[in-house]
Amino acid sequence: MTKGISSYAVAAVAVIMLLAGLGLGALVGPSISPPINQTVTVTTGGQVVTSTVTQTSIVTTTLTAQAQTKEYTIGFAYELTGAQASFGNDMKDAGLLAVAEANALLEKSGYPVRFKTVVEDTASTPEGTVRAVQSLVENHRASIIVGPISSLGVAAVKGYLDQKQVVLVSCCSTAVTLKLPNDFIFRVIASADVQGKALSRSVLAEGFRKAVVIYRAEAFGESLFREFKKDFESAGGTVIGVPYQPDQSDYTAEVAKLSEEVRRSGPAETAVVAVSFQTDGLLILGEARLDETLSNVRWFGINTFRVPAFLPPQAPAEIADFMVKVSLTSSYTAPPNNPRYFAFLESFEKMHGRKAGPQAELGYDAAWVAILTILSAGTDAGQVLRDTVIPTARKYMGASGHIWMDEAGDRAIQDYTISRIIKEGDSYKWIDIAFYDASGNTVNPLTR
């Protein structure tokens, strides 16, 4: 805390942190506050759009303060267009919910701090991420950046943020190359060394000892492939990699190479693993469904394949039918079975008029970690915030569970749920089939 902050203010922050960590209204009878109107500035494709979001939030205590209100800016740098747009918009909206809740609590407690949000579109590219983050820092004086999803984007701005001493809290970046202590990058998800093991063990659990992995040749894809290969081979398996450059308009050559490697390995005993995002993933599946070999092997993939963009009406039914035919199986971060998570789902739907997408709780928690870090530090001085993130996160029980960060500022452990797509009548849906326990590096089937 800075000098001049009273013991009353410390108590107010403690109340807010307690409520944020345990879930609003989890321990005491809640009351409903009047709707909170939050003005959000969003830059997409160079165009600035200002909109007002109305949020009804739950509050549990009322205090009174006589002080001038201090406003901090939290910058959101998310993939609102491009290959990760489905995830990016969900993460952004989850973060806006967190800020609306925090402002409602601060107002009711009488604590003289408010948070303003400015949202920039990274366009799902490193160059777009650089532009977005520089705008947030230099034009809007953001105290903390939340986002982006992509490790490639985080890597592109890491040097700039370290030099400017601005903290970034990412919801979803997992590249091991970014697992560095004493920098300004923090992540509320475990790095790819955990994610790669979860994906590897999900394939091994199905009885496969051979895998051909088609993956993005960039920070995230290469990191995940490396960790998958290490774990899969440690269990006696063999792995062949088929890297590809992202952001192409056609992947005919890469899919042909994938088919060739599967035939050489033996289709009956080989699994295909896809490490792709939305745009490239759709193109690859569109080519693969026309290939006789690739249409008759088992497929596994990362969490991206679970977004609605891969299903009708957003995608052709042929894509969804192909995923069903090859029993596409995906691993995603396991949401906890606790009141905080279910309260988040309910509040997200009330605020945005739609259900939260896969892993949106990570965007919510990333924003809350940023908020609580500023409140705990009592300042937006970069070095102070950097030193405050880890101890703050370790005390936070979020919608995604307990965010215990390691010394590198990454979530230390992460369990995963393994799901498979099926078709019932004319509808497609994902069903959970197994649970990956990170503490034991094991996959346990779920009973339905």
Task: Clarify whether residues 182 and 251 are in a common domain.
Answer: no
Amino acid at 157: V
Task: Clarify whether residues 251 and 170 are in a common domain.
Answer: no
* The pLDDT of residue 205 is above 80: yes
% of the chain beyond a pLDDT of 70:
85
Task: Clarify whether residues 253 and 170 are in a common domain.
Answer: no
Mean pLDDT, residues 352-364: 95
In a domain, 407, yes or no: no
In a domain, 2, yes or no: no
CB 136 within 8 A of CB 116: no
Model pLDDT, residue 159: 98
In a domain, 1, yes or no: no
State the pLDDT confidence band at 309, using cuts at 50, 70 and 90: very high
In a domain, 361, yes or no: yes
In a domain, 410, yes or no: no
Model pLDDT, residue 41: 54
Task: Clarify whether residues 127 and 234 are in a common domain.
Answer: no
Q: How far is 393 from 432, CA to CA, in rounded Å?
A: 29
Give the residue from 214, 425, 428 showing the smallest Cα distance to 320.
428
Termini Cα distance of the chain: 50
Phi/psi for 401 (5° steps) reads 110, -165
Task: Clarify whether residues 84 and 113 are in a common domain.
Answer: yes
Mean pLDDT, residues 67-84: 94
Of 57 and 402, the one with more pLDDT: 402
- Three-state DSSP at 327 gives coil
Of 371 and 65, the one with more pLDDT: 371
Q: 217: number of CA atoms within 13 Å, CB side?
A: 8
In a domain, 295, yes or no: yes
Model pLDDT, residue 448: 62
* The pLDDT of residue 118 is above 90: yes
Q: Kindly report, residue by residue over 269-306, the tens digit of the pLDDT.
A: 999 999 999 999 999 999 999 999 999 999 999 999 99
Phi/psi for 328 (5° steps) reads -55, 125
* The pLDDT of residue 263 is above 70: yes
- Please give the mean pLDDT across all residues of the chain: 88
Q: How far is 217 from 275, CA to CA, in rounded Å?
A: 10
Mean pLDDT, residues 108-112: 94
Based on the structure, what is the number of domains in the chain?
A: 2
Task: Clarify whether residues 280 and 421 are in a common domain.
Answer: yes
State the pLDDT confidence band at 447, using cuts at 50, 70 and 90: confident
* The pLDDT of residue 241 is above 80: yes
Mean pLDDT, residues 179-189: 97
Mean pLDDT, residues 306-329: 96
Task: Clarify whether residues 171 and 218 are in a common domain.
Answer: no
CB atoms within 10 A of CB 426: 7
Model pLDDT, residue 129: 98
What is the phi-psi region of residue 128: left when phi exceeds 0, alpha when psi lies from -120 to 50, beta otherwise? alpha
Task: Clarify whether residues 219 and 93 are in a common domain.
Answer: no
Q: Kindly report, residue by residue over 382-421, the tens digit of the pLDDT.
A: 999 999 999 999 999 999 999 999 999 999 989 999 999 9
Least confident of 36-45, 135-144, 180-189, 346-355: 36-45
Of 15 and 84, the one with more pLDDT: 84
pTM of the prediction?
A: 0.81
CATH of the domain at 240: 3.40.50.2300
* The pLDDT of residue 259 is above 70: yes
Of 66 and 157, the one with more pLDDT: 157
Mean pLDDT, residues 216-241: 97
Task: Clarify whether residues 199 and 186 are in a common domain.
Answer: no
* The pLDDT of residue 375 is above 80: yes
CB 325 within 8 A of CB 9: no
Task: Clarify whether residues 298 and 379 are in a common domain.
Answer: no
In a domain, 389, yes or no: yes
Model pLDDT, residue 208: 98
Q: How far is 97 from 244, CA to CA, in rounded Å?
A: 36
Task: Clarify whether residues 105 and 162 are in a common domain.
Answer: yes
Q: 403: number of CA atoms within 13 Å, CB side?
A: 34
Q: How far is 40 from 52, CA to CA, in rounded Å?
A: 6
Give the residue from 82, 45, 89, 80 showing the smallest Cα distance to 279.
82
Model pLDDT, residue 369: 98
Of 442 and 14, the one with more pLDDT: 442
Task: Clarify whether residues 356 and 290 are in a common domain.
Answer: no
State the pLDDT confidence band at 336, using cuts at 50, 70 and 90: confident
Give the residue from 206, 298, 220, 221 showing the smallest Cα distance to 254.
221
In a domain, 273, yes or no: yes
Model pLDDT, residue 31: 29
Of 174 and 10, the one with more pLDDT: 174
Q: What are the tokens at 284?
A: 């690859």
What is the phi-psi region of residue 389: left when phi exceeds 0, alpha when psi lies from -120 to 50, beta otherwise? alpha
Q: Which domain holds residue 256?
A: 193-334+415-445
